[in-house]
Amino acid sequence: MSHQASPAQESTEPHQPAATQREVFATGLGVMAATLGSAVGLGNIWKFPSLVGQYGGAAFILLYLICVALVGLPVLISELVIGRHSHANAVSAVKKIAPRQPWYLVGVAGVAAAVIIMAFYTDVAGWVYAYVGKAACGALSVPADQTVAIFDSLIQSPATVLFWQWVVIGVAAVIISAGVSNGIERVTKRLMPLLFALLIICNIRALTLPGASKGLAFLLKPDFSNLTSTAVLAALGLAFFKLSLGMGTMITYGSYMPDNANIPATATKVALADILVSLLAGLAIFPAVFAFGYEPSVGPSLLFITIPSVFASMPFGGLFTFLFFVLTAVAALGAILSLFEVPVSYLSETRGWTRRKAALLTALIIIALGIPASLSTNLLSSFTIFGMTFFDLCDFISSNILLPGGGIVIALFVGWRWGKQEVLAAVSNHGQLQNQRMTSAMIGMLRVFTPVAIAIVMLDGLGLLGKIFGS
């Protein structure tokens, strides 16, 4: 492409490499929506806001922003650039840059991680879908002491959890089969505005409740005394995992970007928008939680037990319960689409299969792995591997080994193997963008600081950090 793209103006023209006629995102908005859809997920709703409140409110947000700048953004930009430079799937993209060298194994690990994550993530997304249905029927408008029983009855029913997991997989497979522009881009361009609209509606209602100020204080009041070493580790981990790094999704989505897309600008906007979604989710949750005297929690209990109890206590609670779970389902679907696309793009390009065939096989693999994951809360709850249920094992392998390991390799690959001049050319769109100083600084971070920081998070997740340092 001959013209320059500014930070605020990505390409609105589709670009297809002549040799492959490979499908790409048609618009800059599509690039932004799809990439943001990948970054936004269930963690924005049940994890990030709780950690913000736990570790010092605004002080933790500041720490998180620093970690994003030093760890998250360098790897995010790297993955997008690798994909855009190669216009290939996660495995082939690295092969094109470093042929006949084992660096491509990071792409293989990314494909494996995406599949393993979907085994349990689609299970949780299925619970969300089920709750959308329950909220629509008014089944969640019950006294607080009944919300635990409702959740338990859901996850303890093998037929129910499998049904909803397969619904989630089926919806994702249909969208993915439609293609990059007609499937992923078309859907995410509608889902992301809907997500923000629903969040704003829930925010307005929560912030107008008596006693909402306590929730605001929990979420935003700066408390630097809570910025302990544990908080730093939490911020580092979030900066990496929240941006969907190390799992091949951003390499894959980068491969669909036009050649004149401003990747650093897009990556920065995605990171900031992701934080905004997390904060808006917190503003929708915690003012209401404190207004009705509930204790803040984290994880599934916050989403499936505390939230229904809180909304059931307020006027028009049934409506807001429904809206909240719809927005949660939207967040989950965006993340699942990006994960689904990783193996589909690999299979369709390396095997020459149609997207429909690749999506069908991927769906069947996810179902095969997802069955024991879904049954971990009921029939297979007593079956453990290394002391973990199959659900927890999939989470552990992906979160603590494959993802951080992939991030470390990507950082080292771009920092050392690719070559500084090649990276400078790729990030600057061959000199069209004046970002050489930023890119040089990024390369410096990728060579030492970023991989070391990710390695620390990895060791902590594996339970080895304390043993190494004797604490």
Q: What is the pLDDT of residues 196-214, one digit of tens each?
A: 999 999 889 888 888 888 8
The residue-averaged pLDDT of 279-285 equals 88
CATH code given to domain 28-469: 1.20.1740
In the chain, the amino acid numbered 1 is M
* Mean per-residue pLDDT, 96-115: 95
- The string of DSSP letters for 286-335 reads HHHHHHTTPPP--THHIIIIIHHHHHHTSTTHHHHHHHHHHHHHHHHHHH
- If you average pLDDT over residues 102-106, what whole number do you get? 96
Position 295 pLDDT exceeds 80: no
Q: What is the pLDDT of residue 356?
A: 95
Contact 71, 421 (CB under 8 A): no
- pLDDT tens digits, 52-68: 888 888 889 999 999 99
Cβ atoms within 10 A of the Cβ of 99, count? 9
List the structure tokens of 285: 């949750």
Q: What are the boundaries of each domain within the chain?
A: 28-469
Q: Give 393-436 pLDDT, tens digit per residue.
A: 999 999 999 999 999 999 999 999 999 999 999 999 999 999 99
Mean pLDDT of the chain: 89
Q: Residue 297's pLDDT is what?
A: 67
Crossing angle between the packed helical segments 403-412 and 73-86, to the nearest 10 degrees = 70
The closest of 278, 341, 326, 279 to 35, measured between CA atoms, is 341
Say which range, 36-45, 247-256, 292-301, has the weakest mean pLDDT.
292-301
Tokens encoding 251: 């390499």
Coil, strand or helix: which one is 385? strand
In the chain, the amino acid numbered 113 is A
Q: Is the pLDDT of residue 149 over 70?
A: yes
Range of lowest pLDDT (318-322, 338-342, 371-375) = 318-322
Average pLDDT over residues 427-456: 94
Percentage of the chain modeled with pLDDT above 70? 94
Residue ranges of the alpha helices (H) in 156-262?
Answer: 158-177, 186-207, 212-220, 229-241, 249-254
* pLDDT value, residue 313: 78
129-to-54, 150, 329, 360, 379 alpha-carbon distances in Å = 28, 14, 6, 21, 21
pLDDT at residue 420, as a whole number: 94
The predicted structure's pLDDT at residue 144: 75
Cα gap 173→458, rounded to integer Å: 32
pTM above 0.85, yes or no: yes
SS3 label, residue 8: coil
**Cβ atoms of residues 310 and 288 within 8 Å:** yes
Rg (CA), the chain: 22
Tell whether the model's pLDDT for residue 146 goes beyond 90.
Answer: no
| Residues across the chain | 471
Find, among 34, 23, 389, the residue nearest to 192 by Cα.
34
CB 422 within 8 A of CB 443: no
SS3 242: coil
Alpha-carbon distance of 369 to 208, in angstroms, equals 44
Angle between helix 403-412 and helix 449-461 axes, rounded to 10 deg: 170
44 touches 278 (CB < 8 A): yes
| pLDDT higher than threshold 60 for residue 263 | yes
Q: What is the mean pLDDT of residues 170-199?
A: 93
C-beta neighbour count of 70 within 10 angstroms:
15
Tens digit of pLDDT for each residue in 1-24?
333 333 333 333 334 333 345 788
pLDDT at 21 (0 to 100) = 58
pLDDT value for 212:
86
